[in-house]
Amino acid sequence: MLVKNLLLRLEREDDYRQVEKLTREAFWNLHGPGCEEHFLIHNLRKSEHFVRDLDFVATLNNKIIGHIAYVETKIKDVDKEYDVLTFGPLSVLPEYQGNGVGEKLIEHTKSLAKERGYKAIVIYGDPNYYQKFGFKQSKLFGITNNDGKYPAALLVLELYQDALRGVRGIFDEGSAYQTDPSQLELFDENFGDNQEKLTTDSASQLRFRELVSLFL
């Protein structure tokens, strides 16, 4: 029922603070104590590789409850480079999670990405969630991380049949997803009264640690 009432639109500059706050709420203590994703989206908007026409928010009764951001990245194979997309963070306010908000953001933007001529989307994520969108293990495509390994969390979605035929190599996110911990600490001070308790060893944190340790 909730999904039917959702509206999707491009993020505007006056949404930035609200999106950063919802991202912080969505990821707080999810992968580890605290989070960095709200700082990450703050920085991604400044990147030359940020894809503004795939930067969408989901609204319910004029309230922003979800957001997705895309960056242009590459698959590198010796002397060849292939342009692909990655997305993240994908954020949904905790009280609205499990209602198809993230799914609608993904489906809408992946259709737009296909229309714009992109070949594929490559992400790091939980295969148990993303396989329903058609994502497959990167090993099936011969696409590795920068260390030449096949992480279980490295997933690939071709946007049309055989889009990556003949494409293999290293998935390179570039520098857009790198954050400075000292700058994160300063940035987090802007959220003042919203400092929540740090937790460790939650089920989601244990799953995250499991995923980052798994290779195919």
Residue 193's pLDDT is 57
Give the whole-angstrom CA distance, residue 67 versus residue 57: 4
Q: Inform me whether the pLDDT recorded for 203 exceeds 60.
A: yes
The residue behind tokens 């293999």 is 168
Q: What is the pLDDT of residue 4?
A: 80
Residue type, 83: D
Domains of the chain: residue spans and CATH: 3-174 (3.40.630.30)
Tens of pLDDT, residues 167-176: 999 999 989 9
If you average pLDDT over residues 190-201, what whole number do you get? 76
Q: Which pLDDT tens digit goes with each residue over 30-39?
A: 999 999 999 9
Computed over every residue of the chain, the mean pLDDT equals: 95
* % of the chain surpassing 70 pLDDT: 97
* Predicted TM-score (pTM) above 0.75: yes
Closest to 41 in 3D by CA, of 62, 67, 63: 67
Residues sharing a CB contact under 8 Å with residue 197, sequence separation 6 or more, in sequence order:
none
Q: For residue 12, with 0-12 CB atoms within 10 Å meaning exposed, 13-18 middle and 19 or more buried, which class applies?
A: exposed
Tokens of 183: 């700058």
pLDDT tens figures, 64-85: 999 999 999 999 998 999 999 9
